Each structure stands twice: as structure tokens, then as C-alpha cells.
Copies of this chain bind each other. A is one copy, B any other.
């Protein structure tokens, strides 16, 4: 049987979320790299637009379907591959996981992704990205102050962790001062050595350039 195919870009935080989720659930998959910068962005070519009309990564071909949107994909994986759950059993903890997921995936990342920063312009982009990441991380840190155990919500890794780690990487790329967020930093450090997270890291992707810029 063919493996699922993940359309991914090494540094895309949305692709990275799905890579972590696939690794945690030990689902084998093949990567089809889509360069977001080569030739003005391969995600904009006609062929890929048929795969993902948002012209973004990731997209996942699995079970005869093409799925897009990282949060929808993680939920699909959770519902079809319940091993190594990404959501807690308790309904209030599930709400907390999804709250952190949404703060990051709708409140932070969309405002600092590549396509928006191109619109903001070279001169202002660093300040713009810092502003929205800082605003979101204040809220994430506040949420974690009541929810975190070893990880974002209690002591089990969840979707929230899949989203947090790539967002911390982005924060560092834009030189956000992370000292006000000790819980975020602790969880990020905790997950650094986890094999599923390590294998999903941009530096371990087949399309990562030999010399890592902005690492």
C-alpha cells in the first residue's frame, strides 16, 4: 500500500504541525516538498492549486482523499488513527487544548506567515511579526499558567504542543524576546529531544537547504 503523501515545506510551521502529529501516531508518510520561495512559490502553480486552492502547505493525500488545513488534518488523524491520542479524554481539557491551538493557528500564525509579510513589506515586517507573536504569546502563557503540566495541557502531549513548538521557532526567527514566557520556553525545551518532534524539525527535512538560514 502506498504511504500517505504530505505536501510540505521544511520551514512551514503549518506543515511542521502535521509532521509532528504523523510522527507521534507513527503513521509512515512520504514528503513531497513544495518550495514556498522557488520560482515565486511553487504553491501558486496551477498543478498545486488543484491540490490546495489556498495555495499553501500542507496538504495530505491519505485514504484516497486530499486534506488541507493543518488543524482539520490533525483532527482527521485523531478520528481515524486513535493510537497515541492528540486530545485528552476530559472535555474541559479538550477545550483547553483547542483554545491554545486556535490562539496560535488563528491568532498568531496567519498574521506572520510569509504571504502576509510580503504584503506588509520588507521595512515593517519584523516589527509586524513581533507585535502579533508577542500579543498571542501573552495569551498562550496565561492559558498555560492554569493548564500546563509537563506539556501544554497536563502531562500528555496534545495538538497544542504540535502547534506551540513551530510557533516558538517562528518567534525566534523574528527575534521576539521570549523571556516573559517561561512556561512556553520550558515546554519547548521539554519537547526538543522528543523523537517525533526531532524528526519533524525543519533541519531534518529533505528540502532543508544545506546551510540553514535564520535558524
Contact = CB atoms under 8 A, between A and B. Distances in A.
A169 to B, nearest CB: 18
A99 B67 CA distance: 8
Contacts of A106: 69, 71, 105-106, 109-110
Interface in A52-88: 52-54, 56, 63, 65, 67-73, 75-76, 79-80
Number of identical monomers bound together in the oligomeric complex: 2
B95 A91 contact: no
Nearest to A80: B91
Contacts of A71: 98, 102, 106
Contact of A98 (B69, B94, B103, B111): B69
B109 A111 contact: no
A128 interface: yes
Contacts of A70: 102
B79 A99 contact: no
A101 B69 CA distance: 9
A179 interface: no
A131 B73 CA distance: 26
A184 to B, nearest CB: 13
A75 B54 contact: no
A142 interface: yes
Contacts of A80: 91
A142 B53 contact: yes
B79 A67 contact: no
Nearest to A67: B95
Given A106-B69, A106-B109, A107-B110, A98 B116 contact: no
A103 B65 contact: no
Contacts of A119: 128, 131
12 contacts: A54-B136, A69-B102, A69-B103, A71-B102, A75-B95, A75-B98, A79-B91, A80-B91, A106-B106, A106-B109, A106-B110, A119-B131
